[in-house]
């Protein structure tokens, strides 16, 4: 760790790094610890992780979720998804061999950011600032590298920017104070959330093959994108969640549907 980083230690002893602070790290196959960090660890997957990984494997979101993940309910009632590790004594990632990661170009955010971990708070996120610390991993020999790099350089080199952009949209829902305070317990709502966030192929069928497009005013251009573009589909899914969970006008109901609902409720 450089003097630049050491000067930023907080009272608890944690070294907090800003974008231009320097740390040393390099992972190489010839290091004795190569792929050790890919075993016996819990890796939570973001919705964008799943899009990248299932497309890299050429399989549907349903198959990816069934074969490679474990779902659970988080403290706020939101479903969360973790990578399913091997059930043997190694507890290794299913995509890792002795030669490295077989989906490296599409590896999850947690693997990309290593050995850094976010230390940002709601205040720093609102201000558009990000801080990180270096993970304490005793077996990792990557810290023996003599290569200095800034946090910003590492973020750019690992292709993290696009992941951060998608994660920001996701956090608009997961970090919503009202939802965190109330906690989701309704099973149907939990399944709706799981489908929209993680099961993109099922959500696509829900939009295109149900009465969804009869009720919501969605332009032909957007519909065309939803048919083939998983990222556009995910952005749309988050809008749908904002509409359904947060009562925000993220989607527009068709005028005739709205008028019929008003008549049903006796509202003129």
Tokens linked to 259: 């008028």
Per the document, the length of the chain is 268
Helices (H), the chain: 3-6, 47-57, 61-68, 109-113, 122-126, 151-157, 161-174, 177-182, 187-197, 200-209, 212-215, 220-228, 230-246, 255-265
Q: pLDDT tens string for the chain (268 positions)?
A: 343 444 344 434 457 899 999 999 999 999 999 999 999 999 999 999 999 999 999 999 999 999 999 999 998 899 999 999 999 988 999 999 989 999 999 999 999 999 999 887 666 666 667 889 999 999 999 999 998 999 999 999 999 988 988 988 898 898 888 888 888 899 999 999 999 999 999 999 999 999 999 999 999 999 999 999 999 999 999 999 999 998 888 899 988 876 665 566 656 5
Q: Are 218 and 229 in contact (CB under 8 A)?
A: no
pTM: 0.86
Burial of 120 (C-beta count, 10 Å sphere; 0-12/13-18/19+): middle
CA 68, 72, 76, 77 torsion-angle sign: positive
């Amino acid at each position: 760790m450089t003097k630049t980083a050491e000067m930023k230690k907080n009272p608890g002893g944690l070294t907090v790094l800003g974008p231009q602070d320097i740390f040393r790290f390099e992972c190489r196959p010839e290091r004795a610890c190569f792929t050790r960090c890919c075993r016996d660890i819990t890796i939570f997957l973001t919705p964008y992780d799943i899009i990248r990984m299932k497309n890299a494997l050429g399989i549907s979101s349903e198959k990816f979720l069934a074969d490679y993940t474990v779902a659970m309910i988080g403290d706020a009632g939101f479903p969360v998804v973790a990578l399913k590790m091997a059930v043997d004594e190694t507890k290794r990632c299913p995509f890792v061999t002795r030669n490295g990661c077989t989906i490296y170009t599409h590896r999850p955010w947690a693997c990309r950011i290593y050995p850094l971990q976010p230390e940002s708070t709601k205040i720093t996120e609102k201000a558009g600032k990000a801080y990180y610390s270096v993970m304490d991993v005793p077996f990792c020999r990557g810290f023996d590298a003599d290569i200095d790099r800034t946090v910003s350089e590492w973020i750019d080199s690992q292709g993290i920017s696009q992941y951060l952009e998608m994660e920001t949209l996701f956090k608009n829902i997961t970090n919503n104070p009202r939802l965190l305070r109330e906690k989701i317990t309704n099973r149907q709502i939990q399944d709706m959330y799981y489908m929209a966030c993680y099961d993109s192929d099922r959500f696509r069928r829900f939009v295109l093959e149900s009465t969804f497009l009869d009720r919501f005013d969605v332009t032909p251009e957007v519909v065309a994108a939803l048919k083939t573009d998983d990222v556009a589909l995910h952005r749309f899914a988050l809008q749908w969640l904002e509409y359904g969970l947060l009562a925000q006008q993220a989607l527009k109901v068709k005028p005739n549907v709205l008028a019929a609902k008003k008549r049903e409720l006796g509202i003129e």
